[in-house]
Structure 1
Amino acid sequence: MNNAINIERGTSLGRDAYLRLRKNKMAIMGLCVLVFFISLALLTPLIAPYTYDGQNLELGATPPSTYHWLGTDTLGRDQLTRIMYGSRVSLMVGFVATAVALLIGVFWGATAGFLGGRVDAIMMRIVDTIFALPFTIFIILLTVIFGSSMLLLFLAIGAVEWLTMARIVRGQVLNIKQQEFVEAAVTMGLSPWQIITRHLIPNVLGPIIVYTTLTIPGVILLESFLSFLGLGIQPPESSWGSLISSGVEVMEEFPWLLIFPGLALSITLFSLNFLGDGLRDALDPRTSKD
């Protein structure tokens, strides 16, 4: 007689995190909204009803209508089209600048934390020195010297946003570098580079992923702030920040020029923050109820 044996099927940490994330309705909603805006940005050249720089001076600023769903600006340009093209710029700045910050910050922090000693002290003093620089003045100087450009915006934002990432990764590496698997890797004769890339960074991916999702909205907001000051995207190109800046100037007469780009920016920022909070909870095993 065969006895039926029930064997509980094991699950990976990744699957557990996915199951916890799926239960978080706000995080899933944020992810869906983010996918919508990214898809909209990618498809803008194909689905935009007008060209982003097409003007109709005789039309001028008009409220939302059947021909222009979100109205037109003071130069008669379709506001929906400008917001759609602005999403391409704002999201690209957010993701690319965050990728630059991620690349520099992760390896800088992991190297400083693992090597420790004088190397750690020197590397982190460099971080502290850059942190002390007034960011706005730094951007103004770069703009005066090199002129306004998309590449300059990426470099300027990436040159500052990696600092916090480096501190977070360094702290995580300091916590795990004394564990047995790291000591075993050292005993096997692996180089510091191999230990950092194969063992340390993969074991701190949770905090890295969470902070990345929280960095993207910060970068988008920073780009909007710079565009608001006239240091970011220059006309006729548009970003959500530049559209908000233009809308503020005429908000009393034509409020839709401020409301709609402001809503697009706010919804995106909220979505990214909800997703970041959900990932933080999902990647933390202590949140598991089983």
Structure 2
Amino acid sequence: MMTVSTHASAQDLPVARGFSPRALAWRRFRAHRLAMAGLVVLAVLVLASALGPLLYRTDPNAVDPLLYRQPPGAGHPLGTDSAGRDVLARLLAGGRVSLTIGLVAAALATVIGVGLGVTAGYLRGRIEAALSRIAEVFQSFPTLIVIIVAAAFLGPNLWLLIGSLGFMQWTQAFRLTRGLTLSLREQDSIEAVEGLGASSWRIVRKHLVPAVLPQAAVSFTLLTATVIMTEAALSFLGLGVPPPTATWGGMINEAQQLRILGSMPWMWAPPGIAIALTVLAVNFVGDGLRDAVDPRQTR
């Protein structure tokens, strides 16, 4: 006589208990320890950047020649820089600017990539071919070179940097959503909706875009890390947000001398550590989101 096993896999148990797909994804995300650690670190960095300047009331742009390159001590926990400005105050203020650039530019790139990717995948034909060729052209241009040229003609500023980074980084989200949409386009549910007479706009807005949003969220997190690193590189080259506005990359730019690198680590180590922690945390969160929305990718 055949016996029926009463054991279910860990992935099947939540389904049997009536968990929704969103609840299952959250459970898988919570089980990803590095992703949860990254989420906590990222939350701390965001809160510190948002609330820090309100709690640590020191002007990040206040210049005092008498405090020239002072090491950490009373009144200045992380020391001062070459202009006598408080490093901690500039670290907190710079975090607000750097994280804003990363999040807004990544969101812009994701919106552009998802919109064009879904359009190309659904309409196919010449439109897909044309958009794919445009994406290949954008990929062939180095982002740093394009932004350097734009800054040379228009002058470096915050919104130019955000717009340029968002406009140059959309191809990753485009490739991802285009492939997903091509797959979804062949499903019976989409063909049934088309057979009922639904317009293309309604199919894209109501069925395709919601279906690709989980993967788009993964792309957004990875793009955020890329944008933050790119902004730091541009600021290090002096082509980021113009001074005296503090950014993490700009703070590192002020410490290019060998004497500062060797004997004054308080001027470059805090922003460098902040950038490294942010990029690692965002990447871990992105890995967790990828595994949560697509369990087959779990390592």
8 Å contact kept, 2:110–2:220: yes
- Name the Cα RMSD after superposition: 1.7
Q: Following TM superposition, by how much is the alpha carbon of 1:286 offset from its aligned partner in structure 2, in angstroms? A: 3.3
Matched, 1:127 2:135: yes
| More displaced 10-residue stretch of structure 1: 84-93 or 186-195 | 186-195
Structure 1 Cα separation of the partners of residues 131 and 194 of structure 2: 22
Cα deviation per residue 1:12-43 (whole Å; 9 max; x = unaligned)? 11101111111222211111111111112221
Matched, 1:263 2:282: no
Matched, 1:254 2:279: no
Q: Following TM superposition, by how much is the alpha carbon of 1:112 offset from its aligned partner in structure 2, in angstroms? A: 0.5
Within 5 Å, which residues of 2 pair with 1:11-90? Answer: 11-90=19-98
Q: Following TM superposition, by how much is the alpha carbon of 1:140 offset from its aligned partner in structure 2, in angstroms? A: 2.2
Q: Following TM superposition, by how much is the alpha carbon of 1:134 offset from its aligned partner in structure 2, in angstroms? A: 3.3
Residue of structure 1 equivalent to 2:182: 174
Letter in 2 for 1:103: V
Q: Following TM superposition, by how much is the alpha carbon of 1:287 offset from its aligned partner in structure 2, in angstroms? A: 6.6
8 Å contact kept, 2:143–2:165: no
Residue of structure 2 equivalent to 1:272: 282
Cα deviation per residue 1:147-180 (whole Å; 9 max; x = unaligned)? 1111100111011111111111101111111001
Q: Following TM superposition, by how much is the alpha carbon of 1:252 offset from its aligned partner in structure 2, in angstroms? A: 2.2
Match of 1:213 among 218, 221, 235: 221
Structure 2 Cα separation of the partners of residues 140 and 98 of structure 1: 19
Q: Which runs of 5+ in 2 are unaligned?
A: 1-15
Residue of structure 2 equivalent to 1:187: 195
Pairs aligned (count): 283
Residue of structure 2 equivalent to 1:3: none
Structure 2 Cα separation of the partners of residues 28 and 134 of structure 1: 33
SS in 2 for 1:204: helix
Cα deviation per residue 1:193-228 (whole Å; 9 max; x = unaligned)? 211111112112222111111111111111111111
Residue of structure 2 equivalent to 1:4: none
Letter in 2 for 1:30: G
Where has structure 1 moved over 4 Å in runs of 4 or more? none
Cα deviation per residue 1:237-263 (whole Å; 9 max; x = unaligned)? 111111111123321231221111101
Question: TM-score, normalising length from structure 2?
Answer: 0.90
Letter in 2 for 1:140: I
Structure 1 Cα separation of the partners of residues 297 and 104 of structure 2: 31
8 Å contact kept, 2:233–2:249: yes
Letter in 1 for 2:49: A
Letter in 2 for 1:161: Q
Change (3 A) 1:38 1:126: same
| More displaced 10-residue stretch of structure 1: 12-21 or 200-209 | 200-209
Within 5 Å, which residues of 2 pair with 1:101-116? Answer: 101-116=109-124
8 Å contact kept, 2:79–2:86: yes
Letter in 2 for 1:102: T
Letter in 2 for 1:262: G
Matched, 1:161 2:169: yes
Letter in 1 for 2:266: W
Letter in 2 for 1:29: A
Query: What percent identity do the matched residue pairs reach?
Result: 40
Letter in 2 for 1:269: V
Matched, 1:282 2:292: yes
Question: TM-score, normalising length from structure 1?
Answer: 0.93
Letter in 2 for 1:268: T
Structure 2 Cα separation of the partners of residues 59 and 266 of structure 1: 28
SS in 2 for 1:247: coil
Structure 2 Cα separation of the partners of residues 235 and 286 of structure 1: 47
